C-alpha cells in the first residue's frame, strides 16, 4: 500500500536541485544589485556562456560513458580556424561553415578511433591530440588571429545574425543553443544510440555481452563531441568575428564543471543534458555576480571555487534527501 502511495507521488525532475541552486544564486545577486536582473543583462549573460553550455551538453555523453575528452577546446579552435581561413580564401560562407564542422567531426572521430585501437582511456589519448590540434591551429594561422574582415563576408547573414547586427528579442546564438539542447536531450534519452551510451557507462562488460557494439558507439560519441565542438567553433567565429590562438584554451574547466554541477556523475551510467545547461548558467552567474558585487580580482578565484563547491553541496544535499525518501 505504502509503495503504491509513493509511486503516485509527483516526482520532481532530477534537475530540480540544480535549478534551485541557480535560482538561489540569481536571487541573491539580484537582491544585492537589482540591475543584474534586467532582462537584457540576463539574456546577454546567457549568450556569453552559450557556447560553453553547448559543449557541456555534449560532454555529458562522454561522461555518461565514463570517459572524458580533454581536446574539445582545441577542436573548437581548429574548426573555427578552418572555417575562417576558408572564408578568407574565398570559399562561400556556408560551405566554409560546413568545412569547419566536418573538420571538428574528423578530429572527434580520430580521438575515438585512437582510443579504441590503442585500447586506452579517452583522457590519455586526448591529452596528446589536444596538443596536436593546438599545434596544427598555430601553424595554420601562423600563430596569429584569423579575422575575416572582407565587407562582403561581414555582410553575410551568418555574421550579422550571430554578431548581433540583426535585432532579435533573444540573441540568435541563444535560440540555436537551446534548440541544440532539445536535440541532445532527445538523442541521449529517446534513441537507441543514447541508451547504448548510458549502458556502456553503467557497465561496459555487461553492455558488450549484451551485444552492444561498444567500440563503434565510443567512436560515434567522440565524433559527436567533435561535431558539436566544430559547431561551437563556427558559432564563436560568427559571434566574435575572429578566432585567436588562445580561443578555447580555457574551456575545459568551466565545461566539465558545468556538466558535473548539472548532475552528471564522473562514474558514468547517467547524465542530464538539461542539467548541464543549468550548470553552465550557474558557472556564468558566479562569474557575473563577482563583477556585479565588486569582489576584488584577488578574491574572485577563491570565491568562485567556494561558490561552485557550495552549489554542488546544495545539489547533493537535496539529491541525497530525495533518494532517501524514495
Task: Give the residues lining the site for other proteins (CB under 8 A).
Answer: 20-21, 24-25, 28-29, 32-33, 35-36, 38, 41, 44-45, 48-49, 138, 141, 143-145, 147, 163-164, 236, 240-247, 249-250, 287-301, 303, 306-307, 310-311, 313-314, 317-318, 321-322, 324-325
Nearer Cβ to other proteins, position 66 or 73?
A: 73
Closest approach of Cβ 78 to other proteins, in Å?
14
Q: Is 146 strand, coil or helix?
A: strand
Shortest distance in whole angstroms from residue 157 CB to other proteins: 16
Between residues 25 and 198, which has the closer beta carbon with respect to other proteins? 25
Alpha carbon distance 262, 56 (integer Å): 9
Decide: 214 and 207 in contact? Cβ < 8 Å. Answer: yes
**Cα within 13 Å of Cα(90), Cβ side:** 0
Which CB sits closer to other proteins, 174 or 222? 174
Query: Sign (positive/negative) of CA torsion 144, 149, 150, 154?
Result: positive
If the CB atoms of residues 49 and 181 are measured against other proteins, the closer one turns out to be 49
Three-state secondary structure call for residue 243: strand
DSSP state of 50: H
- Residue 117 beta carbon to other proteins: minimum distance, rounded to whole angstroms: 30
Pick between residue 193 and residue 310 the one whose CB is nearest to other proteins.
310
Query: Minimal distance in Å, beta carbon 101 to other proteins?
Result: 19
**How far from the centroid of its chain's Cα atoms is residue 324's Cα?**
31
Residue identified by cell 584577488 is 298
Nearer to other proteins, 221 or 290 (CB): 290
The answer to whether 20 and 263 have CB atoms below 8 angstroms apart is no
Round to whole Å and give the CA distance between 154 and 238.
9
Other Cβ atoms within 10 Å of 146 Cβ, number: 23
Identify the helix (H) or strand (E) that includes residue 79: helix 72-88
Name the grid cell of 43: 539574456
To the nearest whole angstrom, how small is the minimum distance from the Cβ of residue 242 to other proteins?
4
Torsion of CA 62, 68, 73, 75, to 10 degrees: -70
Tell the smallest beta-carbon distance from residue 32 to other proteins (Å). Answer: 6
Q: How far apart are CB 301 and other proteins at their closest, in Å? A: 5
**Cβ 180 to other proteins, closest distance in Å?**
19
Nearer to other proteins, 39 or 211 (CB): 39
Residue with cell 530525495: 322
**C-alpha cell, 318:** 537535496
Nearer to other proteins, 61 or 72 (CB): 72
* Residues 75/109, Cβ–Cβ less than 8 Å: no
Amino acid at each position: 500500500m505504502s509503495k503504491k502511495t509513493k509511486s503516485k507521488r509527483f516526482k520532481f525532475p532530477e534537475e530540480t536541485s540544480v535549478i534551485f541552486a541557480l535560482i538561489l544564486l540569481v536571487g541573491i545577486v539580484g537582491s544585492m544589485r537589482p540591475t543584474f536582473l534586467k532582462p537584457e543583462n540576463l539574456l546577454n549573460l546567457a549568450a556569453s556562456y552559450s557556447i560553453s553550455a553547448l559543449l557541456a551538453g555534449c560532454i555529458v555523453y562522454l561522461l555518461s560513458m565514463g570517459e572524458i575528452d580533454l581536446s574539445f577546446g582545441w577542436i573548437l579552435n581548429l574548426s573555427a580556424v578552418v572555417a575562417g581561413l576558408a572564408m578568407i580564401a574565398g570559399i562561400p560562407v556556408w560551405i566554409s561553415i560546413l568545412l569547419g564542422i566536418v573538420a571538428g567531426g574528423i578530429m572527434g572521430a580520430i580521438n575515438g578511433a585512437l582510443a579504441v585501437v590503442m585500447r586506452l582511456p579517452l583522457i590519455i589519448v586526448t591529452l596528446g591530440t589536444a596538443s596536436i590540434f593546438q599545434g596544427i591551429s598555430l601553424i595554420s594561422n601562423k600563430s596569429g588571429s584569423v579575422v575575416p574582415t572582407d565587407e562582403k563576408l561581414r555582410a553575410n547573414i551568418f555574421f550579422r545574425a550571430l554578431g548581433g547586427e540583426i535585432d532579435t528579442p533573444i540573441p540568435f546564438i541563444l535560440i540555436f543553443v537551446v534548440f541544440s539542447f532539445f536535440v541532445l536531450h532527445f538523442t541521449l534519452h529517446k534513441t537507441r544510440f543514447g541508451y547504448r551510451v548510458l549502458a556502456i557507462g553503467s557497465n561496459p562488460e555487461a553492455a558488450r555481452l549484451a551485444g552492444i557494439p561498444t567500440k563503434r558507439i565510443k567512436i560515434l560519441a567522440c565524433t559527436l563531441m567533435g561535431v558539436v565542438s566544430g559547431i561551437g567553433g563556427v558559432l564563436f567565429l560568427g559571434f566574435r568575428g575572429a578566432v585567436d590562438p588562445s580561443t578555447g584554451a580555457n574551456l575545459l574547466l568551466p565545461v566539465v564543471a558545468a556538466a558535473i554541477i548539472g548532475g552528471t556523475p564522473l562514474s558514468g551510467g547517467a547524465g542530464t543534458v538539461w542539467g548541464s545547461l543549468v550548470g553552465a548558467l550557474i558557472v556564468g552567474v558566479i562569474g557575473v555576480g563577482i563583477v556585479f558585487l565588486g569582489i576584488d580580482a584577488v578574491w574572485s578565484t577563491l570565491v568562485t571555487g567556494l561558490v561552485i563547491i557550495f552549489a554542488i553541496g546544495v545539489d547533493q544535499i537535496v539529491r541525497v534527501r530525495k533518494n532517501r525518501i524514495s
